[in-house]
Amino acid sequence: MSSTQTLANAAASGTFTLGGDLTVNRLGFGAMRITGEGIWGEPKNPDEAKAVLRRAVELGVNFIDTADSYGPEVSERIIAEALYPYADGLVIATKGGLTRQGPNIWTPVGRAEYLKQCVELSLRRLKVDTIDLYQLHRIDPKVPVDESLGALKELQEAGKIRHIGLSEVSIEELEHAKTIVDIVSVQNLYNLANRQSEALLDYSAKNNIGFIPWFPVAGGDLVKPGGLLDTYSKQHGATVAQLALAWLLKRSPAMLPIPGTSSVAHLEENIGSVSVELSDEEFQALSDLAK
């Protein structure tokens, strides 16, 4: 890795202000991978997991995204163990509403009393009085979304949640949610190869809602050797993952990528993406490639 990439700082990704008062550097960190296999249980190397979190903050990351279901409970607990007391301006976003029955198994539960308990337990694990951004992890098809969001609104009014976000929603679901409570962010699957949420991204940017793409560096067939992504990455002296992240950051000012990893070296590589400057032509060629 070049020294410029090692010394790259997430602040160079630019900033986005959530809800009018919570400004974060756009390149954040997703804390799903600091758990065991299948996002289940303890990480193989707890010390490395904590080192990744501390290094992320050292390199300018001030937006960390987690969820009570990562582990479950493991990710939130490790974040507090590694980073509490938190640096000024560090925003830890978490989520609730998905239950776990085993590795890689996720089941939505959106009942009001369950979500209220989730928030109380996340507050305790993260050692905070207020969660800066609390996201409904999934809309539960068995529970009216008005009930789920109504519970979060109550907790917001009680000062336990600062801002509310959604995960894996359509424009229609987002518009309905906005009639219940102010929504400052959405988190949908989105990357260079998977652009199903393109319209939601554009809607979010227009309405000043942060768009948090999960699985941000997946490239599918686009990352094969000799392809355009591979060619451009060699020209830039960057990795394919760095190029994919640079493309996301250029795609929209509302984009808040949260690449996750359990390795310090991989974290440093991801943050090095802020040093990659795609030309308009390169950006367009990559955009067209995925279509």
Catalytic residues: 70
- Let me know: does 271 contact 177? Beta carbons within 8 Å: no
Residues 6+ apart with CB under 8 A from 102: 38, 40
Residue 287's Cβ-side half-sphere holds a number of Cα atoms within 13 Å equal to 15
- Residue the block writes with tokens 């394919």: 240
The CA-based dihedral angle spanning residues 33, 37, 39, 44, taken in that order and rounded to the nearest 10 degrees:
-60
The SS3 of residue 174 is helix
- Give the span between the Cα atoms of 188 and 196, in whole angstroms: 9
d(CA 290, CA 287): 6
